[in-house]
Amino acid sequence: MTGDQDLKKGEKTAPIRHNNIELAILFSVLAFAAFAVSDAWRKYVANIMGYNILDILFWQAVCGMVVIIILAPFMGGFATLIDRRNMKWQMIRGTLIALNTSFSLAAISQVPIVDAYTIFFLTPFMVCIWGVLIFKEPIGMYRILAILGGFIGGFVAFRPGFVDIDPAYGYAVVCVFTFSSANVLARYIGKTDGLLCFAFWPFVGLIVGVFLANGASVPPAHDLTFFLYMIMLGCAYASAMVLISKSYHHAPVAVIAPYQYVQIIFALFLGYVLFGDFPDMFKIIGGGIIVSSGLLLFARERHLKKIAQREGGVQVD
């Protein structure tokens, strides 16, 4: 799963400089590519190499946290990690992201990556729904059409009730709820915490959660080959987190968010090369509907922000 939407609310440690769109787009594409590579590599290590999922989750998180700790001085410093005002919310959000990471690995280890991504891409629509239910945001015709389009795309892709559906797709559906909920919490926390908090605590949640799920014991690191894989995984995921944060440092969210859909391209390529997976026509059509609806939603949000800026910050829908 991608980290773009829940990072966008947390940057405080440096002033936002929306002055380099090209660099921001480059950072975002590299970040989303890194997320896709991380997912494909985890699937490879779990399915082809045969390592246990809990072991992968734990040691990937440990290696990713080491990278974040090394980069901490450039992300606001360790002092920004502790904020009593939002500590409990950061921990809850970290737990949600940890659950999301765990369920996403459970999903992609059992179904084609591009299939799982097709479901993951329903997250922006769920975030929009949470915005209406929790923040009482107005919902106009464009948002309604985009949300309906997204879920129609999901129906076309998987045709529930018409074909047998692998229960593992349920893990991907859970990810939509965990990740969208984490995004809502990130929005609630807002800009009172630094970027380091938003990158650090999910790794803590994952490490602690796997430790407890493993009977309060540290999962085995197996051998040197396994550990090298985990270093690569940790570096890929932590790099994606840093790159996506840097992209939002150089450009508005509305400019960057649509580029998350480049993940589907990397998922198609990696899924085919590494596992021989290729989606059927229904999934291609359904995925296309989801992506198109998502782009409509992002475009509409960008338009509304421009209107709000022209009218002195008044939200228009």
SS3 160: strand
pLDDT in tens, 92-135: 888 898 899 899 999 999 999 989 998 998 888 888 888 778 77
Burial 228-260 (b: 16+ CB within 10 A, else e): ebbbbbbbbbbbbbbbbbbbbbbbbbbbbbbbb
CA distance 38 to 35: 5
Place of tokens 């480049």: 262
Q: How deeply is 22 buried, as exposed, middle or buried, from its count of CB atoms within 10 A (0-12, 13-18, 19+)? A: exposed
pLDDT of residue 316: 41
pLDDT of residue 235: 93
pLDDT beneath 70, residues of the chain: 1-19, 83-84, 161-162, 187, 190-195, 248-249, 252-255, 257, 312-317
pLDDT of residue 28: 83
